[in-house]
Each structure stands twice: as C-alpha cells, then as structure tokens.
Amino acid sequence: MALEKMTLDALRVKIDVIDDTLLTLFNERMELVHQVGELKNTTGAPIYRPEREQAILNRLKAQNNGRLTDAAIDALFLELFAVARNLELPEGVAYLGPEASFTHQAAESKFGAMSTYLPMASIRAIFREVDKGRAKFGVIPIENSSNGIVSDTINCFKEYDLKIIAEVMIDIHLAFATICENIKDIKRIYSKDIAFGQCRDFLQDLGLDDVELIPIESTAKAAKMATKDKESAALCPSVAAKMNSLPIRFENVEDSSNNRTRFFIISNFENQASGSDKTSMLVRLSDKPGTLVNFLNDFEKAHINLMKIKSHIVEGESIFFIEFNGHKDDAHIRPILEKHHNEIKILGSYAKEIDDI
C-alpha cells in the first residue's frame, strides 16, 4: 500500500509540474495572440479566422502520436482559440434558441464556453442581428440528413449579403423525457415538427403514435414545456432535459443512427484561401432549354468538382443551391465565376470540414 501511495503521489507531482508548465505556455500564447490582435486592429482584419484555426488543427493532428484522438485535439484547441478571441474582443454569437438547442450546441463547439450567446426566435432574426451588427456571428442550420435543406436559410441568403465563414456538423440525438411516471398516462408530446418524423418508429413501438403531437419552435423549448405538464413528454436534446430537471426515460430515440445536421457560421467578412476549401453559392438561370447543362459543363471543363446541387423555389422563382470544392479566388475557378457573375451569388468560401452530410 505504501509503495502504491508513493507511486500515486509521484505521478500527481509530475502532473502538477506539467500543469504549471501548461499555465506558463498558455499565458505566453495569449500574449502572442494579443500582439497579433494589435496588428489586426491597425488593418481592420477580423479576429476570427476559421481557415487559420483549421490549418492549426490539421497540423497538430498530423503530427500527433500520443493518446489524444482527433476529436480530443479539436475539443482542447477550439476552446483555447475561443478563450484567446474573447480575451481580445468579446463578440456576440446569435443562434437559433433557446439555450441547449442543437444550434446552441453547434455554436459552442466553435466559439467555446466564454462567448456571449444571443438566442434568437427564428433564422431570419439571426441574419438580421448579424446584418445590423448587433452580433458578429450567426449560427444557422443548412441541412439535415433526414429532412434535407432548410428552406428558411436559403430564403435569407437570397435576401441578405452576409457570408459563410465556416461549417459545423453535429450528430443529432434525441431523448424521450417526462415527469409522468406511467408512459400509458402520457396524453401529449412536445417537440419540433421534424423531430416527430425522425422518431416515428420509436413512438409506434412505445404505443404513443396516437397521442397528441404538439409542434413548437425548438426541441430545447419542448423540455421546458414538458416540465409544466404532468401528462406530457418531450422529444428533446438530453442536455435540455437535464437543464430543466426533466427525467430522461430513453436516450437516442431517433430512428436513424446517422441523423446529422450541418450548420453554417455567417458573418460580414470573407475568408482567405486555406488550401482545402469549399464554396457555396446560389444560382439563378434563365428558363431556356440547355441553360443548366451549359452552366454545369463550364465547371466540368474547368475540372471543378461540384459537391451538391439542390433546386429551390424562392418567392416563386427557381434557384439552385450549389457547392463545389475550392475557393472562389482560386486561379482555375475565378474565370468561371466571372463568366457567370450575373447568374451567381457567392455565399462564401470556407475551410472544408466535411465532404457531405
């Protein structure tokens, strides 16, 4: 026992020494970041550079040969980046609320715990806050693996001239939570409308497919409402249930194990090229035979890899949401965009984190 205690004490001493060293190094890093911030202030350059952060993460993961996983490196250093940004210039992040929503979780994965978060009631409100300068960044859903493209986001991109500066992907897991002791006594279930479709098999298996389904603005708000209704339940994020002290009866009740949502981060500036970028754009073409084919052929001839083509109706007008690999300022891409400048609205070029949802 004495030998074990000495070994444990010795390990703890070593850990303390490492922690002391880390604290010194963290402060040295923050001082260098401060100097970078002062230089940026003289030029008006943005503090947040997603492409630079992604390059750092890629470099660290490439040289890592220890116990840290790629996800652990992301978690540690993204929080470090967020702390550094907030020490330099605290800036608001608007997201689709309320607190603990999936959009809030996506925002925190990029901006950390120290940022100032502004919950908004709608996607349009997020665009409006960033456009007016009351928030520096906005976090918005663009597509879900089960439900496709978010039309409200496409509509707002057509109306506002904000830019995509980063993308975030998170897995969507829903919990079934209730204060009702007997599931058979549940009369109502609260959640966002699309969540009911994502959990249809689970509800049928539990014999709840005939109870009243009450759609509300968000899955996070569903947890709050279910705490006030003894004959109800919520399909909600587990973190929202825990925040509201709503007992979780079942975890991961979504029908698909690959239920994911992709989010965009928007702001009022453009990214520089990172070397591994993706570009999103809206395209409006004339209603003539062969127009779309000719447009796409120009990209094929320039060896530009189109990753996504989705058609949408916005205010009675047909437009395309298109994404391709590369930055809008890449030498082989710029001529094509210039040729079709009357038909294209570039939404942003940003460091690519995923190929597709």
pLDDT at residue 68 tops 60: yes
Environment class of residue 53 by beta-carbon count within 10 Å: exposed (0-12), middle (13-18) or buried (19+)?
Answer: buried
pTM: 0.85
The domains of the chain are located at 92-171+260-351, 175-250
In this structure, what token pair is assigned to residue 244?
């509201």
Per-residue b or e along 305-316, where b marks 16 or more CB atoms closer than 10 Å to that residue's CB: eebbeeeeebee
Q: CA–CA distance from 21 to each of 25, 81, 85, 347 (Å)?
A: 6, 19, 22, 43
For the chain, the C-alpha Rg in angstroms (whole number) is 24
Reported as a single tens digit per residue, the pLDDT across 309-324 is 998 877 777 899 999 9
**344, 323 in Cβ contact below 8 A?**
no
Of the listed ranges 21-30, 198-207, 239-248, 306-315, the one predicted with least confidence: 306-315
DSSP characters over 229-269: -TTEEEEE-HHHHHHTTPPEEES---S-TT-EEEEEEEESS
pLDDT of residue 213: 96
Q: Percent of the chain scored above 70 by pLDDT?
A: 98
Reported as a single tens digit per residue, the pLDDT across 177-230 is 999 999 999 999 999 988 998 999 999 999 998 899 999 988 999 999 999 999
> Average pLDDT, whole number, for the chain?
91
pLDDT at residue 1 tops 70: no
pLDDT at residue 289 tops 60: yes
Q: CA–CA distance from 280 to each of 131, 175, 264, 308 (Å)?
A: 19, 33, 10, 9
What is the average pLDDT across 154-163? Answer: 95
pLDDT at residue 266 tops 50: yes
pLDDT at residue 90 tops 80: no
What is the average pLDDT across 43-67? Answer: 88
CATH class assigned to 92-171+260-351 = alpha beta
Which CATH code of 3.50.50.60, 3.40.190.10, 3.30.565.10, 2.60.40.1730 fits the domain covering 175-250? 3.40.190.10
pLDDT at residue 133 tops 90: yes
In this structure, what token pair is assigned to residue 123?
């996607």
What is the average pLDDT across 228-256? Answer: 95
| SS3 of residue 179 by DSSP | coil
pLDDT at residue 290 tops 90: no
* Rounded (10°) angle between helices 50-63 and 70-88: 140
